[in-house]
A and B are shown apart, each in its own frame.
Chain A
Amino acid sequence: MASPCEVLIKTQDKIFCEKLAQLTTSEVSRIENKYSRYKTTNLLSQINSSNGGSIEIDNETFQLLNYAKEIFDLSDGLFDISSGVLGKFWTFKNQIHIPDNQDIKKALSQIGFNKINYTGKNISLPKGMKIDFGGIGKEYAVDQVAKILNAHCKIKSDNFLVNLGGDLFAKDYNNTDDELQNEAWKVGLENPKSGYINLLNGAVATSGTSQRSFIQNGKTYSHLLNPKTGWPIENPPSSVTCFAETCVLAGTYSSLAMLQGSDAESFLESEEIEHILVR
């Protein structure tokens, strides 16, 4: 997951915790190993090296593709899991010059979720296209871990919090009064620093530009790329934190908000999404 991950459970039972630690870390490892783009033999790499051929997929992958399609449609193509190839033009660490528009146009021909053919049993990508679930993978893992924890923690009403690199889910079984701040998990926010929220129930996910942007000719270019143009989104917020019932949802809201660039605030308000936005 490339970020610090933790599970907090309000219990004194050490064996219980050790068992859940094993179950949850196994599940996170399973998802990471299956969908990580840094592995060379997993399902994702098989799909991405299929060179136009058909690859067999399982139900989990089918469901993730369905969800990715839904976000693709609802965002008018701004959220596209096949847009990763644009990354090679925009490194953002030591970016010296702006890439050539012709190169970007060529890359665009290999992007577009609508070009993917998939069914419940298999998938085939056009040649040269690569997909990755990085945009929803971590949030999905949070929700899967939350499911495991819920199955075990509800028996004795042990409240818990899952935190995978800043994407969170908390569950309160005791119908604690919201005002009882001692019972809630205190979650610190990186942006702005020294702020925190009290979290009892629900999911939190954050999208942010933080270190990944550069300035040239007076313009700020963020790491968020528009998959329809190949260029960075202009004027995205510094960070958007969204609250929802599940982490996948919170993560999708914050990603979509970032993609709106300068319209992030109005998007979140018109959709009535609970959020914290920093410019």
Chain B
Amino acid sequence: MQLINKHNSLKNSANDSKRISLKSKLAIAATGLLSATATETIANEATDEGWYFSASVLAYSETDRVSAVEVIFNAETTIDETGKLNIKFVLDSLTGASANGAITQNTLQTFSRPSGNGQYNIAAGTTPLDDTFKDTRAQLNLSWSNLLSPESDYQYTLGTNISKEYDFQSISLSAELAKGFNQKNTTISGGFSVAAEEYNPKGSTPIGLTSMAIRDNYPTEDVYDLAFDATRGSTSEAINSAELLLGWTQVVNRSTLMQFNYGYADKSGYLTDPFKIVSVVNASGITQDYIYENRPESRTQHSLFGLVKKHLNESIIDFSYRFTSDDWEIDTHTLDLHWKLFADGGSFWEPHVRFYQQSAADFYSTYLDQSEEVPPFISADYRIGEMSSITLGLKYGFEVNKDQRAEVRLEYYRQTPKSVGTERVAGLENLDLYPELDAVYLQVNYYF
């Protein structure tokens, strides 16, 4: 590019006083205009270093199943221009009932509560749901990021997360290092995190693959207690995990940004769900027994993620795809699309569509055929079965005033579990073994 010199005006020798005074008259007028119109924003400004807060409330409800309410509070501040501190507090509460893994039958079914104290009945023709859990969870996140030195291209982030529920607690630590290249148009990052979780359920965890003892089947309370205790394993179980994440963010042009991630996660310990059982059925499809599920003690997962974000005229669109694959044979695909449309006065509408597809774990089975040998690992938990889901949502954001803004998000979620192709035992044809799940999310965010 050529450098063009500023054109220097020639001095005027003629004494045209009227014309020369035009420039100074205009200058006076312009100064008058700008000084008389002081902007309101300057008058009300306090100091710059401050805290930025946000508060959110989320209500989640599945049709006939789980409901949850979650409250999140977030505080953020900058220290010495480049340092950023973020504190987040989450409180959530779950109620409702979740599928216990047993299949529907044409007769009434009875199950023992996870603690062994009491039992519950499920009507004929309905999906067995366990409503035992009513839990509240509290979580605290802290993260700190800064440049390695004021002029550095390297930025580090350190984080910790603590979570506590009635029978569960966890702690995790993470560290990430990112470097900018090409005038910050390219960012490469590498991060590592470790977590330790401990689970202390009331009534201990069940021993996998043992039969569920049901009070109705025993003559006395004492005999039942003995039988139930025999199915009990340890009072405390641990899960440890480690994760590696590599990322590449690239500014493509003025209006486009792309991001790619690769993740590797390794989890080991008690990965079974102690609340889930598997129905054992005979040749006529009639349940003979319920056994507690059992999952492997380790799980390794790879993930790939790609995102493209583009700024259009009056909107921003982002589209992402995520693929995961693990050694449980669960492969997932997620396609996510957000389109943020700007409207008047700093408000926006953001429609959202998400498709999700998952293949079943290799030890997933809707039920166990009595004539088959009990495999070492088995689970009928629909959440690791084959399924697809679709989410449709809409978010609306607006400015409350110059310092505060709010957002409202409403989303509809429909999950469709699928058959894994196991031969249907005669007698089960008229039963819905793969019930669909519908859920609604409503969230309100407030930034101040």
Query: Which residue of chain A has the shortest Cβ distance to B42 in the bound complex?
Result: A151
B217 at the interface (CB under 8 A from A): no
A22 cross-chain contacts in B, Cβ below 8 A: 402
Q: Cβ of A275 < 8 Å from any Cβ of B?
A: yes
Contact (Cβ within 8 A) A196 B82: no
Find out whether the CB atom of B9 lies under 8 angstroms from the CB atom of A71. no
Contact call B33/A269, Cβ cutoff below 8 A: no
Q: Which residue of A lies closest to B12 (CB)?
A: A270
Given known A16-B78, A74-B26, contact A194–B2 (CB-CB < 8 A): yes
Q: Which of B20, B37, B82 contacts A270 (CB 8 A)?
A: B20
Kindly list chain B residues whose C-beta atoms are within 8 Å of the C-beta of A33: 344-345
- Residue A15, interface by CB 8 Å: yes
Q: B30 interface residue, CB < 8 Å from A?
A: yes
**Which of A48-56, A62-70, A101-109, A159-167 sits within the interface?**
A62-70
Contact with A along B367-408 (1 / 0, CB 8 A): 000000000000000000000000000000001001000000
A156-B41 contact given A26-B346, A189-B4, CB 8 Å threshold? no
Task: Report Cα–Cα, A60/B37, bound state, in Å.
Answer: 6
B71-122 contacts to A, CB under 8 A, are 76-78, 81-82, 84
- When distances are taken between beta carbons in the complex, the residues of chain B under 8 Å from A273 are 9, 23
Cβ of B27 within 8 Å of any chain A Cβ, yes or no, is yes
B: contact size bracket: 35 or more
The answer to whether B33 touches A67 (Cβ under 8 A) is: yes
Q: What is the predominant secondary structure among interface residues of chain B facing chain A?
A: mixed
A58 → B minimal CB distance (Å)? 10
Say whether A156 contacts B9, CB under 8 Å. Answer: no
Residues of A within 8 A of B402 (CB): 22-23, 26
Q: Are A194 and B25 in contact (CB under 8 A)?
A: no
Q: A13-B81, A29-B345 are in contact. Are A147 and B7 (CB under 8 A)?
A: no
Query: Which residues of chain B are within 8 angstroms of A70 by Cβ–Cβ distance?
Result: 25-26, 29
Residues of A within 8 A of B41 (CB): 23, 26-27, 148
Q: Within B283-341, which residues are at the interface with A (CB < 8 Å)?
A: none
Known: A74-B25, A74-B26, A195-B1. A276 touches B6 (CB 8 A): yes
A12→B84 contact, CB < 8 A: no
Q: A144, A152, A253, A272: which contacts B37 (Cβ < 8 A)?
A: A144
Q: Is the Cβ of A59 less than 8 Å from the Cβ of B37?
A: yes
Interface size class of A (residues with CB under 8 A): 35 or more
- Which residues 1-60 of A sit at the B interface, judged by CB distance below 8 A? 11-16, 19, 22-23, 25-27, 29, 33, 59-60
B429 at the interface (CB under 8 A from A): no
User: Taking the complex as formed, is B22 at the interface, i.e. its CB lies under 8 A from any CB of chain A?
Assistant: yes
List the A side residues contacting B37 at CB < 8 Å.
Answer: 59-60, 63, 144
8 A Cβ contacts from B1-19 to A: 1-4, 6-12, 14, 16, 19
B4 close to A197 (CB less than 8 A): yes
Q: Is B34 an interface residue (CB 8 A)?
A: yes
| Residue in A243, A271, A275 whose CB lies within 8 Å of B20 | A271
Residue among A25, A244, A270 facing the most chain B CB atoms (10 A cut-off): A270
Instruction: Name A71's closest neighbour in chain B (CB-CB).
Output: B26
Check B82–A12 contact: CB distance below 8 A.
Answer: yes
A13 lies within 8 A of B82 (CB)? yes
**A118–chain B nearest beta-carbon distance, Å:** 15
Among A13, A25, A140, A195, the residue within 8 A (CB) of B2 is: A195
Q: At the interface, yes or no: B52 with Cβ under 8 Å from chain A? A: yes
Cβ-based interface call for B219 (8 A): no
Q: A13-B78, A66-B32, A151-B42 are in contact. List 19 more A-B contacts (CB 8 A).
A: A11-B81, A12-B81, A15-B76, A16-B81, A23-B41, A23-B402, A33-B345, A59-B36, A67-B32, A71-B29, A140-B33, A152-B48, A244-B27, A246-B31, A248-B30, A253-B26, A270-B12, A272-B9, A274-B9
- List 22 A–B pairs whose Cβ atoms lie within 8 Å, in order of A's numbering: A26-B346, A26-B399, A27-B41, A29-B346, A33-B345, A67-B33, A70-B26, A74-B25, A148-B39, A151-B45, A152-B48, A155-B48, A156-B81, A189-B4, A197-B3, A252-B30, A253-B23, A269-B9, A270-B20, A274-B7, A275-B7, A276-B4
